[in-house]
């Protein structure tokens, strides 16, 4: 029987990090932000690679992917009224890879912060799991992620089909406590609004996937 995660494409896992762990990770994040202009390549830092392994060791997270899965990316989203943004409804279709491969199923090549990204086949995207570690409580005013339940199960979607999904299925607003994890399929339609409260919403967004990629693609970095 499919799990609620398989059906909905998301799940909240309570208290993955305790207060002390949150504080320690938040300190590392602050230090990393000082030395690094970008925020997508945190997995190169030892503390972040260690956190990825810790997440994989948590049964409530690990049950959602194979034991051989690897962490392939960690992005920091640090939202507050001072550093604010909104994201329109979309799915995450690109993965970071080591080199260019000429194959018709590998499209949409791009480069961000010196890392090469590609849109791999949908079958691979469907197997990925994003693990979002919340370092702050996230309520309605903090610009939480909004997701369209079950929208990851619908293959390729045009803009109008995505809007239709949003209208018919509604949205789930991801309110969590500090230390909680929000698990989601990258193919889940998601968006977020600007923060309106005097809050801070720091999220470490890890991407987990299979160690071996199709068409001789290789992850940019894998832990």
Ligand X SMILES: O=C(O)CCC(=O)C(=O)O
| Number of residues binding to ligand X, judged by CB under 6 A | 8
Q: Binding ligand X by CB under 6 A: which of 185, 200, 205, 220?
A: 205
Q: Binding ligand X by CB under 6 A: which of 192, 195, 207, 213?
A: 192
203 binds ligand X (CB under 6 A): yes
- CB nearer ligand X, residue 16 or residue 145: 145
Distance in angstroms (rounded) separating the CA atoms of residues 180 and 151 = 23
CB of 203 to ligand X, least distance (A): 6
Q: How far is CA 104 from CA 47, 118, 119, 120, 121, in A?
A: 37, 12, 11, 10, 9
Distance in angstroms (rounded) separating the CA atoms of residues 22 and 16 = 10
Q: How many CA atoms are closer than 13 Å to the CA of 16, on its beta-carbon side?
A: 28
Backbone angles phi, psi at 89, to 5 degrees: -55, 125
71-100: contacts with ligand X (CB under 6 A): 77, 87, 92
Distance in angstroms (rounded) separating the CA atoms of residues 216 and 117 = 14
- CB nearer ligand X, residue 62 or residue 87: 87
- CB nearer ligand X, residue 17 or residue 74: 74
Distance in angstroms (rounded) separating the CA atoms of residues 22 and 97 = 29
CB of 68 to ligand X, least distance (A): 24
The closest alpha carbon to 152, from 119, 132, 118, 125, belongs to 125
Q: How far is CA 139 from CA 77, 145, 155, 166, 215, in A?
A: 15, 10, 31, 21, 42
CB of 192 to ligand X, least distance (A): 4
CB of 23 to ligand X, least distance (A): 21
CB of 200 to ligand X, least distance (A): 13
Distance in angstroms (rounded) separating the CA atoms of residues 182 and 130 = 8
106 binds ligand X (CB under 6 A): no
145 binds ligand X (CB under 6 A): yes
142 binds ligand X (CB under 6 A): no
> Which residue lies nearest ligand X, judged by its C-beta?
192
- CB nearer ligand X, residue 38 or residue 216: 38
- Residues engaged in binding ligand X (CB under 6 A): 77, 87, 92, 145, 190, 192, 203, 205
């Amino acid at each position: 029987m499919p799990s609620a995660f398989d059906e909905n494409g998301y799940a909240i896992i309570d208290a993955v990090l305790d207060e002390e762990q949150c504080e320690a990770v938040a300190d590392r994040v602050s230090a990393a932000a000082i030395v690094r202009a970008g925020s997508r390549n945190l997995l190169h830092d030892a503390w972040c690679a260690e956190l990825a392994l810790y997440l994989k060791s948590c049964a409530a997270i690990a049950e959602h992917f194979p034991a051989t899965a690897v962490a392939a990316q960690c992005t920091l989203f640090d939202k507050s009224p001072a550093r604010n943004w909104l994201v329109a409804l979309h799915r995450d279709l690109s993965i970071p890879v080591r080199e260019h491969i000429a194959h018709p199923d590998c499209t949409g090549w791009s480069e961000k912060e010196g890392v090469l990204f590609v849109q791999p086949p949908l079958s691979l995207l469907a197997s990925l799991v994003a693990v979002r570690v919340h370092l702050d409580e996230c309520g309605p005013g903090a610009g939480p992620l909004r997701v369209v339940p079950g929208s990851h199960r619908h293959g390729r979607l045009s803009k109008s089909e995505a809007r239709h999904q949003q209208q018919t299925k509604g949205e789930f607003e991801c309110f969590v406590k500090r230390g909680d994890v929000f698990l989601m399929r990258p193919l889940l339609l998601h968006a977020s609004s600007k923060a309106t409260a005097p809050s801070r919403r720091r999220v470490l967004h890890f991407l987990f996937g299979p160690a071996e990629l199709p068409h001789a693609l290789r992850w940019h970095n894998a832990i």
